[in-house]
Structure 1
């Protein structure tokens, strides 16, 4: 007990005293769990190693593709962007998202460039001309979803209001769906290559994969992937949220209805009762099959049947796919309540013996897994609210310093599972929703008793919480009893 109190006191000292150092060195993570600290520090150093030069022709960027290409790919950027934002790569995110949004075009059947390199060109590994290129169809919806998450995290409305983004949104939820035959009732009937070059060459990957209907690239003869259905659901739901934020409630209702149509098809058409899992692809031979795509059902948060979702999470957690796929696990497993497994994957992915751990998605995934996963940091620019909840079953403590979000910056320390301290080190106020697992009876804010509220998380775990406004320069200490 004395040792735990000493560690908590030391952490609080670090939390307060390292403010100047943190501002010089970017985000710092500290914890009594030294293995996690070591993994985070490796991930931070590795991720920042992939930061490109501002003087490169493409402008500010970071590596988010196979490193030899010096490029950034739509799928990888959609996954890495929050980790990048945590690391202070805001200008890079803005520039890269702008380029994807600006390059959507009718000549590419409302695709943009799948991959852009540091020379400001579509990467030649994936592009020959507007008729011959590689493109995975979930990508438009992934970028749409990622730009929304960037707005929620940063408070920067550029990600949803700038003309290029508005055009990208509109073309993605309308013309793109029509061009690629992606209506809800068309997913099992659509042609394999609706926009193939003429003449078509099956042996040319820029013909065969011009509109690959999945992120699973190793499945031959593919008509539709379950991850594409999930991406469509998330894309329509995201556009609905954007419309609601802009006060366009009629359009918001219309696109939420479209979103639910995709989700209903996912549940009705893709669940295998015999094996109790989702099929992940449907072939041109009209046969369902299973591969690695289940991860994206969770990434796009498309599973609302709790029993099926839990079975999927358990199976994903037990699967050792490629590192690109596993790099999603830290954040997802924290999100869906499998905390110990999430920690296990952070340590596994950062281990020197893990093959291809240097792939950029891995380090960025660990950063997001620690900050948004373990620390439970979730900003929402719509209400200027920052929610936090410590996701651990142990008597550990943890802190992050110099974290930018919601047009301000914070230091946050979880001293244990019933006490957290936050300091607003920036210039913008926000509302702190401080959540704690368990059914507590009393709460103090800076030593004063306040009324607490209760609820549950998505896994129906009991939560106690209080809310407090945090002004610039203010420190707030919340403790549950």
Structure 2
């Protein structure tokens, strides 16, 4: 399974992409280089014969299987991948061009969300992409399941489609059926403990992970029926379903899910989250209807990370609260929980705080994991994959849309990082290089590809002018999630470099 240093001993394929980072700040270069090497070491070679159902209590496993295109996502001493971990690693895998792996793993979870499972996907599968990992699965009514994962898999399928451009995400019946049921029947089946009026909110049982929990926070003993990470993930799943439906040409379905997302967000902000701010904001409800405030770890930081909290002073106060708690007595002991904090703060334009947490995660990579049998923190696969994704989607603000042949970018460089460049960034069948100089200048090179891309270069703030390759254009602005951006759209053909500067 793994060598003494935690590296897999099975052969791994050559990476489909070889992204490279350079910067005025050597820390991000060191971090990215380590993360790329480490993440690639977790990739499984399709066709490999390997053990199944390996875990800390069954080190030899039970039988062998033929491994599918996949990568480790979960404890390094287990022979499989987990839905929660895989969802969080997907962007980093996209940066490495692991599109076949992302699709095979997402499809395996989709296929496992059967009526017998009440449309919950399996929590973990072996690397053969079909056998449920036995440590987490005992029977169709007795297996680990957590509400946010169902919704995150829908959201991440939409993101994988945007990275890869693979129409299978629209046309594969197993995937499409999963999206529809996860955002419809699943919600209806698991909504009965708390009255939410006209809005449906998926619930857990409050009885532990093998009976279905509302939150990813497994360290809590709270009997949660509804949780902030679940409702936030449900909101993003509705948006993803709308996006996928629109790409498929079903505008009526897209409109329906956009309305469901709006209604859920409005209900969350007007009613579900209470009227308090900071520590007084509601982040869950128990099975007997009590509202919970204070620090809930995942069910706290997922709410702003999933952007269900309306922009404004209340969200800013909650972000302050999250940083204070995670920096003090509320710091999670498990590194995989901390890997979400950069995403939380990047998504809310707290660049310096996000970068602080990226460095914190990286600087603790050689520390023993809280689960001693796991090895070091750096041998938890989520660490390397998330740092890759946070470099590209976070620091560089890349939003890919391969099916539409478009991408948008915005610099989120923190204080003290003057410039950052990435080469061999793969989106669909194209390879790009992108450089940000500060917050107001960006250059994109379309190194190779079959078609031109439309690039929307965004810059936070309202500027009077924008120059494209030195030619001034009238400035255009838009507001996205409460932030005003100046932007320019330009077509970048293969072989061309374009530089855009605001101000």
Match of 2:340?
Answer: 328
Q: Does 1:256 align with 2:258?
A: yes
Secondary structure of the residue aligned to 2:177 is helix
Question: How far is 1:83 from its partner?
Answer: 0.7
Name the CA shift for 1:276/1:447 in 2 (closer, same or farther; >3 Å): same
The equivalent position to 2:421 in structure 1, one of 392, 399, 403, is 399
Match of 1:288?
Answer: 291
Question: How far is 1:215 from its partner?
Answer: 1.4
Q: Does 1:368 align with 2:368?
A: no
Show structure 1 runs of 5+ residues with no match: 1-22, 195-201
| Cα distance between partner residues in 2 of 1:316 and 1:443 | 36
Q: Does 1:47 align with 2:18?
A: no
RMSD value, Cα:
2.8
Name the CA shift for 1:223/1:24 in 2 (closer, same or farther; >3 Å): closer
Question: 2:225–2:287: 8 Å Cα contact kept in structure 1?
Answer: yes
Match of 1:109?
Answer: 118
Matches within 5 A, 1:181-330: 181=191, 184-185=196-197, 193=205, 209-220=210-221, 221-267=223-269, 268-271=271-274, 273=276, 276-289=279-292, 290=294, 291-292=296-297, 293-318=299-324, 319=326, 320-321=331-332, 322-330=334-342
Name the CA shift for 1:451/1:382 in 2 (closer, same or farther; >3 Å): farther
Name the CA shift for 1:375/1:283 in 2 (closer, same or farther; >3 Å): same
Name the CA shift for 1:429/1:189 in 2 (closer, same or farther; >3 Å): closer
Deviation digits for residues 323-350 of structure 1 (CA, Å, limit 9, x no counterpart): 2222112233122111111111111111
Match of 2:475?
Answer: 452
Question: 2:444–2:497: 8 Å Cα contact kept in structure 1?
Answer: yes
Name the CA shift for 1:467/1:47 in 2 (closer, same or farther; >3 Å): same
Secondary structure of the residue aligned to 2:70 is coil
Deviation digits for residues 17-57 of structure 1 (CA, Å, limit 9, x no counterpart): xxxxxx99700011011112112222222222211232332
Question: How far is 1:362 from its partner?
Answer: 1.8
The equivalent position to 1:122 in structure 2, one of 132, 139, 147, is 132
Larger deviation: 108-117 or 389-398? 389-398
Secondary structure of the residue aligned to 1:211 is coil
| Cα distance between partner residues in 2 of 1:405 and 1:191 | 36
Q: Does 1:434 align with 2:443?
A: no
What TM-score do the two structures reach when normalised by structure 2?
Answer: 0.82
Secondary structure of the residue aligned to 1:26 is coil
Question: 1:188–1:282: 8 Å Cα contact kept in structure 2?
Answer: no
Larger deviation: 167-176 or 246-255? 246-255
Match of 1:38?
Answer: 30
The equivalent position to 1:75 in structure 2, one of 84, 94, 103, is 84
Match of 1:168?
Answer: 178
| Cα distance between partner residues in 2 of 1:233 and 1:449 | 40
Deviation digits for residues 279-326 of structure 1 (CA, Å, limit 9, x no counterpart): 333223432334111121123221124222212222223313232222
| Cα distance between partner residues in 2 of 1:116 and 1:452 | 50
Question: 2:90–2:102: 8 Å Cα contact kept in structure 1?
Answer: yes
Question: 1:111–1:140: 8 Å Cα contact kept in structure 2?
Answer: yes
| Cα distance between partner residues in 1 of 2:227 and 2:159 | 24
| Cα distance between partner residues in 2 of 1:274 and 1:375 | 31
Name the CA shift for 1:460/1:478 in 2 (closer, same or farther; >3 Å): closer
Match of 2:355?
Answer: 343
| Cα distance between partner residues in 2 of 1:419 and 1:372 | 17
Question: How far is 1:189 from its partner?
Answer: 10
Matches within 5 A, 1:454-469: 454-461=477-484, 463-469=485-491
Deviation digits for residues 246-295 of structure 1 (CA, Å, limit 9, x no counterpart): 33233223223333333233221233527654333322343233411112
Question: 2:276–2:282: 8 Å Cα contact kept in structure 1?
Answer: no
Match of 1:96?
Answer: 105
Deviation digits for residues 178-212 of structure 1 (CA, Å, limit 9, x no counterpart): 32226854999998649xxxxxxx7xx6xx63221
Question: How far is 1:164 from its partner?
Answer: 1.1
Secondary structure of the residue aligned to 1:343 is helix
Deviation digits for residues 347-399 of structure 1 (CA, Å, limit 9, x no counterpart): 11111465533222222121111111111111234643211121124461110
Question: How far is 1:467 from its partner?
Answer: 1.6
Match of 2:405?
Answer: 384
Name the CA shift for 1:46/1:460 in 2 (closer, same or farther; >3 Å): same
Question: How far is 1:241 from its partner?
Answer: 2.5
Larger deviation: 390-399 or 68-77? 390-399
Question: How far is 1:403 from its partner?
Answer: 0.6
Secondary structure of the residue aligned to 2:43 is coil
The answer to which structure, 1 or 2, has the higher relative contact order (CA under 8 A, 6+ apart) is 1
Report the number of matched residues: 448
| Cα distance between partner residues in 2 of 1:336 and 1:360 | 25
Secondary structure of the residue aligned to 1:153 is helix
Name the CA shift for 1:175/1:465 in 2 (closer, same or farther; >3 Å): closer
Secondary structure of the residue aligned to 2:263 is helix
